Structure 1
């Protein structure tokens, strides 16, 4: 194209003029640029408002749960922040679950086994359960897997066995759910 000729120095002033004309013809009109800038400013303001509102809601929720023993104990579990602790404290009645496997099923992080008689067909991720809890529990493990602690080691062992990142992250979430279950059931802070 004209730019290649102009850059290489071949063609002289005529090629240079053609290159400048090509560049000018591809520039968007100033009115379009201004309209896009207004849209970006509008969307940035909306995002800022939404983040402020989310922060206010989190602070309000934390204030409401301040005296809750279960909430306080959940905050001691590695990787559990105020949002996940609040969601667990509010939506999980731990007395309904006889063990951590039932809680894992409720949260949607228990594997689903499809079997018939004596043959096991497949073990897959369950699509059932509370989707919000599931995503909070799994994504809150992202910080854990980079650590050198027991959950980070477990994640690396899962990856060494050939699991992908998502599957290994879910395995870490399920392992950590055992601790969450014990903390909620006994109302005691987490300890290694």
Structure 2
């Protein structure tokens, strides 16, 4: 049960119900397996694929390495946050105004959501919209 695990903290995110939190936590816990949020994000398969050959270095589409269920859970968290968190709603609007397609913006939001989820799972402190907004404005990761 989610209420008996560290993943319960994810339900403090706006728009994230128990089912989404449980799905993400099931693939992410124990969080100590991941040295940082970037490793967790890469494990979802949403990180861009890298193509390297001699002098050619190029980033491609999402790598899709990792479990589809983990990726779907993170995308679900990003969707919930984009609907119910003012900070994520603003970020979504900014990304779309820059010309990103809706799915591209959602993947970018998923990266932010992954960093946030990683921090919550590490610290076990509930989500605070004001604190998140201040951290984002100050450039804190």
Does the TM-score normalized on the shorter chain lie above 0.5? yes
Name stretches of at least 5 consecutive residues in structure 2 with no aligned partner.
Answer: 133-141
1:146 to 1:113, Cα distance in 2 relative to 1, 3 A:
same
Q: Are residues 1:75 and 2:15 paired?
A: no
Alpha-carbon distance in 1 for matches of 2:8, 2:76: 20
**1:60-110 deviation per Cα after TM superposition (whole angstroms, max 9, x unaligned):** xxxx23233x22211112332111211233222211100001000111221
1:131 to 1:73, Cα distance in 2 relative to 1, 3 A:
same
Q: Are residues 1:187 and 2:124 paired?
A: yes
Per the normalisation by structure 1, the TM-score is 0.60
SS at match of 1:177: helix
Q: Are residues 1:162 and 2:104 paired?
A: no
Q: Which has the higher contact order (CA 8 A, sep 6+)?
A: 2
Larger radius of gyration: 1
SS at match of 1:120: strand
What is the RMSD of the two structures over their aligned residues, measured on CA atoms? 1.9
How many equivalent residue pairs?
Answer: 128
1:79 to 1:113, Cα distance in 2 relative to 1, 3 A:
farther
**1:101-123 deviation per Cα after TM superposition (whole angstroms, max 9, x unaligned):** 10001112212222334432233
What is the correspondence of 1:1-192 to structure 2 with a 5 Å cutoff? 64-68=1-5, 70-92=6-28, 93-147=30-84, 149-191=86-128, 192=132
Per the normalisation by structure 2, the TM-score is 0.79
